[in-house]
Structure 1
């Protein structure tokens, strides 16, 4: 069973997921602003070091982790050394934290629609496998992000994301028709929904990412999606779509020692 629950540090709330109980981790709220990973990591593990990158909406994943500026461009980080934490910042994009229960290694991914279309999460899964992880040992938590019911995008954007879910389709109409059907999606809602505005669709990025993960061979039970929309939950989360301001919240996870 996947359970999301609130933790508190100095009366400030952050979100955790039971699927990641093996690792110190947190999806931090706007209440922690303007603290950065070097400060936030002390909430999770006072002895851990924090690594981050300069996010550019791509699909590059770092294994050599920067802890001091200048930070290289990347939207994913993978930590294999115990006591190292990896961090991503988001407003409406999806923060994905993942870990290997046997090896203790972790990854943090920033996935907006561009990163999702570029399959950054499947790339992270492949990277973990190359380093020795087995699919059955991986756990995934998709944190607060803009919900599909309110995320309006162009048909072209929706089609680019859906192309990763139906690579045999060659036109936008087929892609969208396939992945707009509730029964084809292994989670609670479709990836795409109709929109009243001509040339627009509603896109659920987290459902798309979760479907990509399942297509990699992961079971649904290994994946959790946070029940919070950043756009609609203004008391806890910043949202660029809502405010138009560049404000973010951070999410991080700490690698643990390999079991003996």
Structure 2
């Protein structure tokens, strides 16, 4: 299991980025039925995991909450006073739809100012391995063109699995983590409040799930990353 230093430094908060069979994963963790939306719900007693359509969950209770990913951004948010936490699934559609701003607004609506938050973006696919089409980047405004490049960048960490070769003509390599950080900054979060894992789900670790890698290597078993956060009882 991996953890973020900034969330780990908050007394009263527990969290982790782990595989489905990690013994540190809470047994009763709640997660939504993720549909790449911008919807963030509040956990309520009696809700059944994987039944409510949303891509973020927020709580002030002690119920562990999570998002499930296999390349997308897992974004965990906690108030510095440990009173409220949120888990957000950041696929590009949800990010483009405004899920980051919606999640931050949940805290603001509860009286927690943006400067009182800590945010951790967990393992996700990095630009070294996230090849996208010309049509994909055409959906983004030109003032966001810093998010992609046409030359495949080097991995941030020494790869344990070979990064993919380009499979499309005229494609680009997209920085999904950078997109998440950009949206957090736009929502008023300072860069110093954000920790971003350098782990690429495609090339850094064979134990972490990568949907893209499994499409290239279909013999791999299907697995998922559980990114969870909880207020300690």
TM-score by length of 1: 0.73
Which residue number corresponds to residue 19 of structure 2?
29
Deviation readout 1:60-86 (Å, 9 max, x if unpaired) = 1111346425611111000111x1111
Report how many residues are paired. 209
Q: CA RMSD in A?
A: 2.2
Corresponding residue for 1:68? 48
Give a deviation string over 1:197-234, Cα, whole Å, max 9, x none: 44422111111110111112211100010010000024
The answer to whether residue 87 in structure 2 is matched with residue 87 in structure 1 is: no
The residue number in structure 1 matching 2:206 is 235
Gaps of 5+ in 2: 152-165
2:125 is aligned with 1:146:
yes
State yes or no: 1:158 paired with 2:137: yes
Pick one of 89, 92, 100 that aligns with 1:110.
Answer: 89
- Which residue, out of 26, 35, 40, partners 2:25? 40
Q: Distance in 1 between matches of 2:50 and 2:124?
A: 27
Deviation at 1:121, TM superposition (A): 1.1
SS of corresponding position for 2:26: helix
Summarize the Cα distance change of 1:104–1:256 in structure 2 as closer, same or farther, 3 Å threshold: farther
C-alpha separation in 1, matches of 2:18 and 2:206: 13
Return closer, same or farther for 1:151/1:70 CA change in 2, 3 Å cut-off. Answer: closer
| Contact 1:52–1:67 (Cα < 8 Å) also in 2 | no
Q: What residue in structure 2 maps to residue 179 of structure 1?
A: 144
Aligned to 2:230: 254
Question: What SS does the corresponding residue of 1:50 show, helix, strand or coil?
Answer: coil
Relative distance call for 1:70 and 1:141 in structure 2 (3 A) is closer
Supply the distance in 1 between the matched residues of 2:29 and 2:190 (Cα, whole angstroms).
30
Q: Give the equivalent residue in structure 2 for 1:16.
A: 3
In structure 2, how many angstroms separate the alpha carbons of the residues matched to 1:99 and 1:69? 21
Moved more, 17-26 or 57-66: 57-66
Change (3 A) 1:200 1:138: same
- Structure number with higher helix proportion: 1
Find the aligned partners of 2:203 and 2:148 in 1 and give their Cα distance: 18
